């Protein structure tokens, strides 16, 4: 124990950095635990779509969406979504909505905005479209 105290005394800046990192780690973990936005895997996505009439929204670029997408998904304009423009989506406010992007990062931010806008069941495909492809699940293409 004395060695820890001595280390902290001799390295105050490094000690502060470690404390800040630890606090950020705990904060991130707690935020994920209590978030209303749920991360789901590809199998959970198929269950939501098939059993609860969930709707998938793909946030990737239009060209990527046209080349390959989850069957039944609709394209969502990311720029409009970032401005909280969810016009035309009101009919989905009480249904499960699953957001898909390339990796899951963009979708998480938009999902939070959608929840604040009154959408009750918003999910994000963990790992994005790449996770869907890695799972070997079918895709559709075309416009």
Contact 123, 41 (CB under 8 A): no
Contact 111, 100 (CB under 8 A): no
Which of 37, 56, 101, 110 is labelled catalytic?
Answer: 101
Catalytic residue flag (residue 25): no
Instruction: Give the neighbor-by-neighbor strand order of the sheet with 96-100.
Output: 38-40, 121-125, 96-100, 55-58, 74-75
**Enzyme catalytic residues:** 101
């Amino acid at each position: 124990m004395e060695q820890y105290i001595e280390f902290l005394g001799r390295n105050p800046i490094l000690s502060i950095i470690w404390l800040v990192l630890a606090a950020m780690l705990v904060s991130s973990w707690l935020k994920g635990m209590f978030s209303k936005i749920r991360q789901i895997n590809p199998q959970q996505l198929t269950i939501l779509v098939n059993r609860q009439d969930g709707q998938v929204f793909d946030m990737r670029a239009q060209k990527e969406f046209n080349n390959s997408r989850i069957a039944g998904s609709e394209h969502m304009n990311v720029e409009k979504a970032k401005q909280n423009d969810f016009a035309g989506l009101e009919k989905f406010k009480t249904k499960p909505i699953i957001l898909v992007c390339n990796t899951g990062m963009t979708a998480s931010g938009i999902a939070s905005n959608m929840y604040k806008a009154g959408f009750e069941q918003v999910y994000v495909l963990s790992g994005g479209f790449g996770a869907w492809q890695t799972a070997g699940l079918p895709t559709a293409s075309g416009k």
